Structure 1
Amino acid sequence: MKTLSPSFAALALALSGFTFCAQAAPSQQYISDQITVVVRDAPRNDATFLSSIKSGDRVTVLETLGDQSFAKIRTGDGRTGWIIARYLTPEPVARTIVNDVRRELTEAQSRIRDLEARLGQTRASLEKARPALELAGDNERLREQVDGLQRSLKETEQRYGVEKERRRTMLTGAGLAGAGIVLGLILPWLLRSNKRRRWGDF
């Protein structure tokens, strides 16, 4: 049987140690909010599996045995079953709120683009009418037309400012709401974990 040379064995040992260190190196990651909850036919962990629901799905609570036990729910498509009650929350999850805000933000941006187009058209019409007014200063019809265009321009600029401020408010609100919901979901779990850890010390 052919034996390995001492130098080759040392090199292999060094490489294996490097691989182990690379695998064991700490890295910062995050807990996923994509949670799958099992729906069973009875309030027991060993009960028959019926289906599963995901975080953000809307359900109707029909009965509950307590926050630390099980709750009977009905899903959006009419299925009923039991799930672990601690996965329920009265508020939408952060992902749902962010999706709603994104949709509203897209609509607001579309309205802003429309207002910008109208603003440009109004300004162009105003510039087009101004030379005619200068040539016919006593023409009341042209004067009224210019006055109307100026009012339209002012109103459009005001609406444009309101839409931009609304978009800024939505972005700020989404950030605060998302942070609050995540904190509200994680904090009770941490408190329960600390309580169980203290009881385990006795």
Structure 2
Amino acid sequence: MFRSWLLIAVISLSVPAFAQETTLDIEQSSNHYIRDDLFVFLHAGAGRNYRILGSVEAGTPITVLQHNREQEFTEIRDNEGRRGWIETKFVSDQISRRELVPLLTERLAQTRSGTQGLQSENQRLNQQLNDARQQVSKLSAQVSEQEREIKKLSQQVDESEQKELVRWFTRGGMVAGAGILLGVILTYLPKKRRREDQWM
């Protein structure tokens, strides 16, 4: 038992050599984490000479309760509800990799899902666009056919009007010719003598 506590104490004293320095101005909040590159021991007081209550793994979210600037220790509460003191340099306000990876994985899944949704929507819109283009092409063909039909009917109407005009001119000419011929005939017909002319 003594050997295990001695081993824990030796590890506790050797950890600071591998830790990086951080700012001492740590505000009280729950948005803090144990740095990812280590695990630290939870002490009963603000110093290494206090009893070790346990260890806190790297990346564990913690709540900062208070800070001892002289000893450079911070009182925390971990995600299991344990309270204790750890060295301030092991506290970070950056989200840990252990917490960040699931968030990034979830965001990646959401992004992929959104991308698939957008691709599906894009395919649907492309299909609608192709259908609309086909419909426009079909309507354009119908319009061209109707224009040809209208042109044909217009030509038929023009031809009918010309024929009717020729017919009226022909009839008028025939009537005029008949009138002239009748006038000539009437001119050359012998006139009847009057009775008075006969008595004389």
TM-score range, shorter chain: 0.3 to 0.5
Q: TM-score, normalised by structure 1?
A: 0.44
Q: Which has the larger radius of gyration?
A: 2
